A and B are shown apart, each in its own frame.
Chain A
Amino acid sequence: MATDSAAAAAAAAAVSDDFAIGCFLSIQTTFGDEFEAQVVAFDAPSNILVLHILFPISTEGSKAGSRRNLRLLKADYIKHFTFLRHGEDPLDLSKCYIDLDAVRAREQSALRQAEAGAERIGVGVTSEAQSIFDALSKTLPVRWDKSIIVVLNEVRVSSPYVPESVSGGTAIANERVKKVLELERKKLQVRPTQ
C-alpha cells in the first residue's frame, strides 16, 4: 500500500542522514499535500517529523525570528519526499528557554477567546449561514438557537436566511433585520471569500 511503502521509505530515511536537522525537503503526503519544509526536529521513536514550512517559493534570508508555520508530521504519511539541500539548524539551542508561566497564560487566554468565539459559531450550520451570522453580529446582537439566528432576542431568522425567512419581533425590528440581511447578503455575494 502506498502508506506502507511510504512508511518504509520514511523509516529508511530516518535511519540515514536524510532527515538531518536543517535539511530542506520537498514533501508530499499521502493526502496529497505538497510543501517544502525545513526539518527542525525528528523524533525517531514516534516517527514524528517537525517541519518548518516555507512558502512555496523559498525565500532566502528569512529571519529566524519570523513567524512561520510549524508542522508536526508523522513520517509514516510521507508519500514521497525529495531532498533539496542542506541547511543550518534553524534552532539556536542556546536560546531555547521556555517560560512556563507564559505558556500557561497563553493557553488560558486562548481558551478564553475560543470559548467566547464558540458562542458565535453555530452548530450544524453551513458556512454561508455562519457568514450571515457574522455579518449580522457586526451591528446587531445575535445569537444562535440551534440553527436559527436570533436577533435582538426577538427576531428569528431560520434557514435559508433570506429576508423572507425573517419572522417574529416587533414590526420595526423585523423590518430592520430584513433590511440588514438583504444588504449583508448583497455584500457577501460581491465578496465571495468573505
Chain B
Amino acid sequence: MNYQQLAHPKSAANGIGRRKSEREGGMKLDNRLHSGKSGISKTGSIGSMPDSKVGGNLSPSHDRLVYFLTRLIGHHVEVQVKNGSIYSGIYHAANVNKDMGIILKMARMIKDGSVQLHRANTESLNKAFAKTFVIPAKELVQVIAKDFSLAGDGLSNELQLEKRQEILIDSCISQARHVDSERELKPWIPDEDDPQRPELENVFDIPSDRGWDQFEVNETLFGVKSTYDEDLYTTKLERGPQMRELERVAGRIAREIEGEETQDLHLAEERGVHFHDSFNIDEETRFSSVYRGGVVDDSGYVEEEDILLDSWNTETFGSAPASIMIGSLDGTDTDATQASARSSSTDGPETSHSSVGVDLSRIGADDAGRLSSELTCKSVLASGDDNRAQERSLSEQRGHTELDDAGKLPVSETFNHSISLLKGKSGSSHKGGVLAKAAAPASSTVALTDHNKMNSRGDLLETPTLAKSGETQSVDSHGRPGSSTSSASDRLGAASAPTGARLTPSSSVGSLSSEKSNLNPHAKEFKLNPNAKSFVPSQTPVRPVSPAGDGSFYYPANMPGVHPMHNMPIGVGMGGPFAGHQPLIFNAQVPPGQSPQTYLHPNGPHYGQHMLVAHPRQLPYMPGFPPDMPYKGRDY
C-alpha cells in the first residue's frame, strides 16, 4: 500500500517559519486518506503486506499510526513543540513518511515555551490564529488529542453526533465561553479519613426485594399509618366465576375500539396505524395538539339565523323609524322581508361590495324602512349562508341606508349590524360612519339574553334620536367603539366571531332562551364560498359584540362631538382589548375547518360560549388603548 507523501507543505522546508498561510491542498489530504484507508483495510493481516510499497514503510504499526492520524482529522489537538510551546488547533494533516510533521488549522499558541515558567499566567496574551500552521517533524514533540474515542470507527453515527452538536447552537454558544475552563477530569479519591460506606456503592446492585418496606419503617418510626386504598383509585375487579367471561368481553370491546378506523391522526399514531404514509404531513400536524381542520360546525349559525328570522318576523317588524330596532323588523314587512330575504339569499358572491353600496345610496328614504327590513333579513340570511360578500354588502347597504335616512334605519341598521357582528364574517369596510351607529344598537339588540333584548329595545328607541344627531356622532352615540363605519365589518367580524354562535338572534329573541349546545342538530352544512371576499379590516378597532343589558355604552373617544347617551343598550359592555386605532387584522375568512363557534377573536374578550349575561356587563378595561385616545368613560 502506498503511503504517499502526506500533505507535504510546498514551502515546507523543515525548520523554516512555522506560520504559513498556504492553502492546504485538499488533494494531498485525499491521497493520504485514501492510501490510509486502503492501508487500514489490509491491516488485518499483519505482516503480510505484499504490495506495501514505496518507501517501505509498511509495518502494521505504521498502519496503526496512519489509522489514528486519519481518525484524528478535525479534532482539536494540542501540539507541543521542541521549545515547549504548545499550540492548539484543528488537526488537519500529517506527514509520516519519514518523520511526523503536522499541519494544523486555526492554530494558535496557548503556551509559550520560550517564556520563563515562573511568570504569572495572567500575563500571557492571546495569540492570533493562524489559518494553517505547519509544524515540521523536527519540532514536534507530542500531539495531544482530548476526548478521543478509541473503538469508534468514525462511521456515520459519529458524524451525526457532530451534526447534532452543530445544531445545538444555543448550548454551544453558552458553553463556548467556558471552553477554556474545562479540566481534565480526575476520578475522586476519598480522603483517608473518610468513613467507608460500602453500602452506598451498591445502591444499584441490589434488587428491589431488599427487605426494606418504607411503609413499615415509617410506621414504626413515626407512627404514620398508610391509608392508601387501591380501590379508591381503580375499579375493583370482581374476580369470580364470571371473570373469564368478562375478560373476554372486555377484550373484545377493547379490540374493537382500538381497531376502529380513525381519521384522527393522533389516534392513528397511537394505534400504530400508518395512516399518513401518502400525505405530506409534517411533524407539527402529526404530533401537535393544536386542532386544525376537521369538522366545521358552522351549521349552528344558519339554523339559528333562520329561527331568528322567523321569530323576528313575528315580532314588531315595522319600519317605523322610532320603533325599536326589533320593531323595525315588523310583521308588516314580513312578507316583503321574507321575500327579499329569500331573494337576497340567492345573491351570489358576485354581489360586490361596491355595487351594493351604490345601490344603497340610491335607495330613497321612503323605501328605507322597507329596505332596512329587507336588508335586515338579507343580512340575516346572508349570515346564514356564510356568504361574507353578502353580508358585507348588506352591511354596506344598511350603512348607506342609514346615511340616507338616519332616522329610519338606525334600528334596522344596528340590527343588521349586530347580525353581521354575530356572524363575524362581514369584512366589508364601509365608509360611512353610519354603520357604526347602526351596529351599536344592533349589536345590543342582537345580543343575547332576553333581558338584554328588552333593554335593547328600550334603548333602541333612543337610537333614532341619536341617529339624527349626525352620522359620525351617531356613531359615537351608539357607542360604536371608536370605529368609523368602515370598521363596522371589522367590528362585526371581531365581535361576532367569538360570540357569534352564542349571540344569535334566537337567543335574544327569547325563543331559544336556553343555551344552545355546540352541536346543532338542524345545522346546515357549511359550504365554503371561495368567492367570498376576504375580510379586510378598516382602520378602526373592532369591538366585539357584547351584551348591552346595562345600557351603558362606550363611545370611542376619537369620535368628535360624542354625545354621551344614557341607557343606550349598545352592545357596549364588551370593551375588551382593542388595539386602539390599529385595525384588528385577522383573516376573517374562516378556514374551512374552523368552527366559528369556537373561534375566539384574539383581541376580543373571550366571553366563552355563555356570554349572554343578564346583568349589565361592565366595561372591563380598555387595554391597548393608545394614549392619544382619551377614554371618556362610560355612562351608566
CA distance A150 to B149 in the complex (A): 40
Q: Mark B68-101, 1 if CB is under 8 A from A, else 0.
A: 1111111110001000100001101000101110
Binds B, one of A80-88, A113-121, A163-171, A175-183: A113-121
Instruction: Indicate with 1 or 0, residue by residue over B30-55, a CB within 8 angstroms of chain A CB atoms.
Output: 00011011001101101000000000
**Interface 9-residue window, one of B151-159, B251-259, B354-362, B381-389:** B151-159
A70-B68, A74-B142 known; A55+B186 contact, CB < 8 A = yes
Q: B61: CB under 8 A from chain A?
A: yes
Contacts of B41 in A (CB 8 A): 97
Separation of A21 and B68 alpha carbons in the complex (Å): 14
Assess the B176–A117 pair: CB atoms within 8 A.
yes
Q: Which of B43, B72, B129, B137 contacts A121 (CB 8 A)?
A: B129
Chain A residues whose CB sits within 8 angstroms of the CB of B65 once the complex forms: 41-43, 46, 48, 50, 72
With contacts A105-B159, A138-B174 taken as known, whether A69 is within 8 angstroms of B153 at the C-beta atoms is no
Contact indicator per residue, chain A 9-22, by CB within 8 Å of chain B (1) or not (0): 00000000000010
| A162 interfacial contact with B, CB 8 Å | no
Known: A69-B146, A117-B176. A110 touches B75 (CB 8 A): yes
A105: B residues at CB distance < 8 A: 159, 162-163
Q: Counting CB contacts under 8 A, is A137 at the interface?
A: yes
The answer, yes or no, to whether B27 is at the interface (CB within 8 Å) is no
- Prevailing SS type, chain A contact patch: mixed
Do the beta carbons of A126 and B68 come within 8 Å of each other?
A: no
Q: Quick check: which of B117-125, B336-344, B436-444 contacts chain A, the rest being far away?
A: B117-125
Does B267 count as interface, using CB distance less than 8 angstroms? no
| A43 CB, min distance to chain B CBs, angstroms | 4
Closest to A53 in B: B144
Task: Determine the residue in chain B with the shortest Cβ distance to A56.
Answer: B186
* Contact A69 B148, beta carbon cutoff 8 Å: yes
Interface residues of B in 121-147 (CB under 8 A from A): 121-129, 137, 140-147
Q: Is the Cβ of A95 less than 8 Å from the Cβ of B126?
A: no
Q: Which of A51-74 contact B (CB under 8 A)?
A: 52-53, 55-57, 59, 63-74
Residue of A55, A94, A103 with most partner-chain B CB within 10 A: A103
Extra contacts besides A41-B68, A57-B187 (9): CB < 8 Å: A30-B141, A65-B152, A96-B153, A97-B153, A97-B155, A99-B154, A109-B166, A114-B76, A121-B126
Binding site for B on A (CB under 8 A): 21, 29-31, 40-48, 50, 52-53, 55-57, 59, 63-74, 77, 90-115, 117-118, 120-128, 130, 134-135, 137-138, 193-194
Complex A-B: 21 CB contacts under 8 Å: A21-B61, A31-B84, A46-B65, A55-B186, A64-B151, A67-B148, A67-B150, A69-B184, A71-B142, A71-B143, A72-B65, A93-B46, A98-B67, A99-B158, A109-B162, A110-B75, A111-B74, A112-B166, A121-B129, A127-B122, A138-B174
